[in-house]
Structure 1
Amino acid sequence: MFVRVSVDSKPEALLQLMLREWQMDRPKLLFSVHGGSENFTLTPKVKQAFTKGLITAARSTGAWILTDGINTGVSKYVGEAVKTFGGHNLRKRNTVGVTPWGVIDNNTDLIGRDVFRPYQPLGNPLSKRADLNSFHSHFLLVDDGTLGKYGCQEGVRKKLEKHIQLLKIHPRFNQRVPMVCVIVEGGPAIVSTVLDYVSNNPPVPVFVFEGSGRAADLFAFLHKHTDSDRQLDADIKEGFLLRIGEVFGVDRKEASRLCALLLECMDHRQSVVYSKYSLVRKHICAVQSFLVKEFPYV
């Protein structure tokens, strides 16, 4: 199911649509998944741990999953997870893509009011636009009038996430919906995203999948090397700066800026959790362990 919305759409109206019109189950937990938007490769062990772990944790807790909904990068892996482990009823999978309308290939095929529109991702390698991932159950397509540009969906997504967090997990309970940010791979922009989550009041826990690459692995490395104090030894910091430059393809000045932001995230290190997924875990994923520890009521 999908709806095309403006950038100034009110989050309370969107949530009402999702709960009443789409009849989505009231969430007891919210996973906001961020990471690389371009295609990247996860090792088989990391992919298995992420896909099975995320969906198992979501299904066992009654969680919603939010992504950018496109058929590349981390959203594609989430789609594969839903396809493999999400059960047979697509509409009950509660996996929502918050996607810029202007980047969607053949978006005119989706125009209409209260109609059924078949949509099949074609994956045209010559197209500069993106396909929707068809294994997401619902989409909020954010239109700011631009074509081919990402970013307009971010404000809508942040406001919606905050509004979902104000929702009670049950009308009789006072407990609000907890949220976890999940990081898989990711580019330079993810660093600011993580800082925004962990510096919130209250902070949003960030779960980093070590072994998935780029930003996720930088966070895991820094978390290990700032165990007792935020400072890095001079030789380690120099190597880390070089690594940032190589990983993100940026110059020294930009690497220094990103390093400062990464270190600022470590000021909130209690809200950052990472796990090494190159190791096989028996019958239980690290996501579930984290949830049991942090949110025993879900």
Structure 2
Amino acid sequence: MSVTLLCAYCFCSWHVFFTSFCSWFCTVFQYIRTSYDTKLDHLLHLMLEEWKMELPKLVISVHGGLQNFKMPSKLKETFSQGLVKASETTGAWIITEGINSGVSKHVGDALKAHSSKSLRKIWTVGIPPWGVIENQRDLIGKDVVCMYQALSNPLSKLTTLNCLHSHFILSDDGTVGKYGNEMKLRRNLEKYLSLQKIHSRSRQGVPVVGLVVEGGPNVILSVWEMVKNKHPVVVYEGTGRAADLLAFTHKHLDKGQEGCYFLG
């Protein structure tokens, strides 16, 4: 898979061309490489004014495993349909890790499966660490047209971007091959979005909802952070690891974790 990049100013747009049998598809994406502690007002200004995104009525924050995992077919269909329907009907932003593996890939699969039925554009923002991205050199440039190789090297520990996302914020903390600080940027951005007023005359901020599919210890920490900030979390029981552990704990405690809802 090759990606044509059209770079301009502080952000870049690229056309993605990929083939499946005799069909060709073209999609435009935009991205920015930025520090993990960037100013959030500047970042949101870029997204709304330069990228022409609409302020969300809802933020769906998807958390789960970084490595590939299988979901039961019925549960995957429920996840896919629910995610797309929620996004279309509410004008939500979906936020993920943005890489081409794990739960981010499942989100991409959901968008691909239901794209032909989509009534409106679905804003899907990937926030991965810059230091884990394969073929970084293809993403460096300004006012140029270049090609991004979206096929990963099977021998590499790095990963590629999931090209079914509409936008990417590449969080750079100077490290290579490490995850972590991108979650600080993501949590801060989600909190900043929650402070934005949906209507000028309303006091209500943008609601944030977490979705948990599989995942490891860091996902449990993310759930704790979200519940602590009074954001509801939906856990997909039956997907394994962190999701099933949270479901098991919920069932065997006298009092369930307030703010957590379980599907399965």
Distance 1:47 1:121 in 2: 24
Q: Tell me which amino acid in the other structure corresponds to 1:205.
A: P
3-state SS of 2:86 partner: helix
Q: Deviation digits for residues 230-289 of structure 1, max 9, x if unmatched?
A: 4xxxxxxxxxxxxxxxxxxxxxxxxxxxxxxxxxxx5xx22000011xxxxxxxxxxxxx
TM-superposed deviation, 1:170: 2.7
Q: Tell me which amino acid in the other structure corresponds to 2:197.
A: K
Q: Which residue of 1 aligns with 2:102?
A: 73
Q: Tell me which amino acid in the other structure corresponds to 1:27.
A: P
TM-superposed deviation, 1:88: 8.1
3-state SS of 1:99 partner: coil
TM-superposed deviation, 1:172: 3.9
3-state SS of 1:14 partner: helix
Q: Tell me which amino acid in the other structure corresponds to 1:8.
A: D
* Aligned with 1:156 (options 185, 201, 212): 185
Greater strand content: 2
Q: Which residue of 1 aligns with 2:261?
A: 273
Q: Deviation digits for residues 72-110 of structure 1, max 9, x if unmatched?
A: 000000011111224589x93210001111100001101
* Aligned with 1:22 (options 51, 64, 75): 51
Q: Which residue of 2 aligns with 1:206?
A: 233
Q: Tell me which amino acid in the other structure corresponds to 1:192.
A: L
What residue ranges of structure 1 are gaps of 5+ in the alignment?
A: 231-265, 277-298
TM-superposed deviation, 1:178: 0.3
Q: Which residue of 2 aligns with 1:52?
A: 81
Contact 2:91–2:122 (8 Å) recurs in 1 = no
Q: How does 1:1-298 map to 2 (within 5 A)?
A: 1-87=30-116, 92-200=121-229, 203-226=230-253, 229-230=254-255, 266=256, 269-276=257-264
TM-superposed deviation, 1:197: 1.1
Could you tell me the TM-score, scaled by structure 2's length? 0.84
Could you tell me the TM-score, scaled by structure 1's length? 0.75
Cα RMSD (Å):
1.7
Contact 1:35–1:190 (8 Å) recurs in 2 = yes
TM-superposed deviation, 1:122: 0.6
3-state SS of 2:258 partner: helix
Q: Tell me which amino acid in the other structure corresponds to 1:84.
A: A
> For structure 1, which segment, 169-178 or 154-163, has the greater mean C-alpha deviation from structure 2 after superposition?
169-178
3-state SS of 1:74 partner: helix
Distance 2:145 2:234 in 1: 37
> How many residues matched?
234
Contact 1:120–1:134 (8 Å) recurs in 2 = no
Q: Tell me which amino acid in the other structure corresponds to 1:222.
A: T
Distance 1:84 1:113 in 2: 33
Q: Deviation digits for residues 121-176 of structure 1, max 9, x if unmatched?
A: 21321111010000000000011111111112111111100110011123343321
Contact 1:30–1:64 (8 Å) recurs in 2 = yes
